Chain A
Amino acid sequence: MSTRAESDFALPKRARLHLGDLALRGITGAAALTILIVLIWIAYKVTEQASDAISTFGLGFLTSSEWNAVTDQYGARDLIWGTAVTSFFALLFAVPISIAIGLFLSELAPRRLRGPVGALVELLAAIPSVVLGLWGILVMGPFLEAHVEPFLNDHFGWIPLFSGTPSNVGLLPACLVLTIMIVPIVSSICRELFDSVPSDLKAGSLALGSTRWEMMRSVAIPQVSGGIVAAVILGLARAMGEAIAVSQTIGGTARTGWSLFGSADTLASRIANQYQGAATHLQQSSIAYLATILLVLSLAANLSAALIVRRIRRKLGAR
């Protein structure tokens, strides 16, 4: 499965200089170049729109929780907090579930079921985020407010997470919606990873008397741990970047606080809500600054996941 190296086929010079070849190579090369241009252009354009805010607030923007259109002071702290909390809890719920599903599909499920069940889990990813958000506002939110949150508040209200008044919007519905989005992504990667563990390793462990779970825990998971980390990072990137479903379920009042109940806001959701109606130019620029932060975070996440995958491929290739 390697790309064709140039020297694989020694073509006679005549053929190499054929116009058709050059044309195709030129067109396809241009297409590939467009990707790089678009990436750089995105970074440039977003940062350019943010430049006023960056020069006005500098890095203090990251630690300030002001968001005041009258005094024209803005800060990203509450939004970074909201993004961090929603992503963290979404991962907390999604990662164990996804690894479990990956294990199920790879090892436990009867062979006939693996295809259909895997397809159903992937169908979760096909649900458009706006539809999940719709369901979140009108079905899950009210359900959480009426049944789940009061229960948690009554019995575990001493934990800061479950303090506060039950509400049909807030961090909890947003986290759950994000969990539903991340699970299909991470679990399908995990399944492929577990499938790729050499069967002789698995068989050897079982032969030595491990239970299936012990085999997974001590052989399969460690074997693909790097890949799992990459999958988790990709899930994190997805959670951080989701704007639509989160803006529908989270309420929109930014705050830094531990309670999972009640309105909050994230970077992506605030951009979706306020970019078009900003009262002053500095506010619009500040929202672009939020987008820059989001872009940096997602670039960091995606690049590190890509590099981990490259390292794993190299290791596998070297075997």
Chain B
Amino acid sequence: MAFGVTTEQTNGIAKISLSGELDASSAADFRTAVEQVATEKPRRLVLMMDKLTFMASAGLRILVFAKQKMGREVDIFIVGAHDAVLETIEMTGFHHSVILLDDYDAAQIES
């Protein structure tokens, strides 16, 4: 399935929605989206992954990049990641650096 990425920003919360397969060929688009939202200096980054079916190591590299690009004070939420994607994140230990949520918890994210 083709990769898709959309962005939106409200109230200092940047939201990037991913769909399809994130691999070496599509990672560049994800990266561009991260760079784009970074210019607005959001206080939170939310990555909607409920429509993401697959993530390869290239995608993980962009997550690492996002964490560094956003800066230490910016919390990164990963919402709705599928089991396989979650597992990849857990295997590398990256889950310690982000906040994993099953659903969009407005109370937590928008506070």
Q: Do A and B come from one complex?
A: no
Point out residues on B near A: beta carbons under 8 Å. Answer: none
